[in-house]
Every structure is written in structure tokens, then in C-alpha cells.
């Protein structure tokens, strides 16, 4: 754990939670650096933010993003990086592939992938003894055809999605043609 005067980097500065965390961390006497891809997120104007750094977009420039975060953590003597949004995946990948000067407050990329993938998450919950809904991974068009007749009783979710995007609830069979099996 960083020392009482350690610098903390909070990424995803556009998110309201980043501002909230910055205020909390600053309130206990830590120096807070914020970073994200937008030019001027609101959180950067907070007195809790000692400095704001604009980063390359990780989705389109993953190597440049990883390099920029590493350089930033070294230049600002960052001891702990706290991600707040989907950049956690890019950061976990960066931490896997190199020796970083700061700790990352996030699970490793394998654990992140397991809990973000809807099917593997259900299997994990099942292994932990939790009650889970009946779940079938559709791997092919043939798999899709086997459920077509009772599609109105089912929920269809992409394995990789956010905020219930592309979820089909009680769909008629004709809507299933839009599904691409995993």
C-alpha cells in the first residue's frame, strides 16, 4: 500500500466516480493525478486534482496508451493506479506485459475477462454454489435453431456486451436471425 503521502493516479476522469474518488483520496492527504482521453473532463477542474494528463485512446492506440501510462506513473511518482471505467482492461493488459512502477488496483486480465464474459461469469457463479439461471452458450447457427421454437421463453445476451446492449427478451423466432452465435 502506498505511503501516507503517495501519489494516486485515477483513470477514467470523465466518469463522476473518478471525481468522487479524487475528492475522497485528496481528503485523506494524498496527491491525486487524473488521466483520461478527453481534453477537459470536469473532474480535472477540481481542487482535488493536482494535475490532469490526457492519454491516447486505448481502444485505438493500445501500445501508445500503455506507454503513456507507464511514463506518467514514472514522471509523477505514482504509487497506485485506480481505474474507474473500461480502461481497466487496457491497464490490466499493460501490467501483464511489463514491469510497472506502480500497483494497479484491479484484478489480472484473466480474472477480468472471466467475470466480464457473460457465459464464463455464469459458470463461475455456478462453481461457487450460487443459484444461476439455466444458461446455454450458442456456438453455431445449429445451436440457435435448437432454441428457435421456444425463443419467447428465453433471454438472449451477447457474451461480450455492456449495459444490456443487444439483449433480446422473449423474442419472436424471426428476431433470432440477427443473432451471431459466439
The model's confidence at residue 175, banded by pLDDT at 50, 70 and 90, is low
Q: Among 79, 113, 147, where does a domain finish?
A: 113
The sign one gets for the Cα dihedral 76, 51, 32, 90 is negative
| pLDDT number for residue 130 | 96
Percent of the chain with pLDDT over 90: 63
Count structural domains, the chain: 2
139 and 65 part of one domain = no
Compute the average pLDDT of residues 166-170: 68
Q: Could you give the CA distance from residue 29 to residue 24 in angstroms, rounded to a whole number?
A: 9
- Three-class SS of the chain: CCCCCCEEEEECCCCHHHHHHHHHHHHCCCEEEEEECCCCCHHHHCCCCCEEEECCCCCCCHHHHHHHHHHHHHHCCEEEEECCCCHHHHHHHHHHHCCCCCEECCCCHHHHHHHHCHHHHHHHHHHCCCCCCCCCCCCCHHHHHHHHCCHHHCEECCCCCCCCCCCEECCCHHHHHHCCCC
Distances (CA, A) of 165 to 37, 48, 135: 23, 34, 18
104 and 23 part of one domain = yes
91 and 37 part of one domain = yes
Average pLDDT, the chain: 88
Residue 96: give the domain boundaries.
7-113
In this predicted model, what pLDDT tens digit does every residue of 11-59 receive, in sequence order?
999 999 999 999 999 999 999 999 999 999 999 999 999 999 999 999 9
In this predicted model, what pLDDT tens digit does every residue of 1-19 receive, in sequence order?
444 468 999 999 999 999 9
Q: Point out which residues pair with 54 in neighbouring strands.
A: 36
36 and 88 part of one domain = yes
Percent of the chain with pLDDT over 70: 87
1 inside domain: no
Model pTM score: 0.81
In this predicted model, what pLDDT tens digit does every residue of 76-101 receive, in sequence order?
999 999 999 989 999 999 999 789 99
Q: Could you give the CA distance from residue 16 to residue 59 in angstroms, rounded to a whole number?
A: 21
Amino acid at each position: 500500500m502506498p505511503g501516507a503521502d503517495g501519489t494516486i493516479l485515477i483513470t477514467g476522469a470523465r466518469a463522476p466516480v473518478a471525481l468522487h474518488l479524487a475528492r475522497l483520496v485528496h481528503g485523506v492527504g494524498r496527491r491525486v493525478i487524473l488521466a483520461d482521453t478527453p481534453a477537459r473532463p470536469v473532474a480535472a477542474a477540481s481542487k482535488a486534482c493536482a494535475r490532469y494528463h490526457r492519454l491516447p485512446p486505448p481502444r485505438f492506440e493500445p501500445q501508445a496508451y500503455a506507454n503513456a501510462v507507464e511514463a506518467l506513473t514514472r514522471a509523477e511518482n505514482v504509487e497506485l493506479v485506480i481505474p474507474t471505467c473500461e480502461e481497466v482492461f487496457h491497464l490490466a493488459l499493460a501490467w501483464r506485459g511489463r514491469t510497472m512502477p506502480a500497483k494497479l488496483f484491479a484484478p489480472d486480465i484473466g480474472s477480468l475477462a472471466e467475470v466480464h464474459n457473460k457465459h464464463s461469469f455464469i459458470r463461475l457463479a455456478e462453481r461457487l454454489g450460487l443459484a444461476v439461471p439455466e444458461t446455454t452458450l450458442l456456438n453455431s447457427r445449429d445451436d440457435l435453431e435448437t432454441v428457435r421454437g421456444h425463443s419467447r421463453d428465453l433471454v438472449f445476451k451477447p457474451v461480450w456486451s455492456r449495459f444490456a446492449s443487444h439483449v433480446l427478451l422473449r423474442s419472436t423466432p424471426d428476431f433470432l436471425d440477427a443473432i451471431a452465435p459466439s
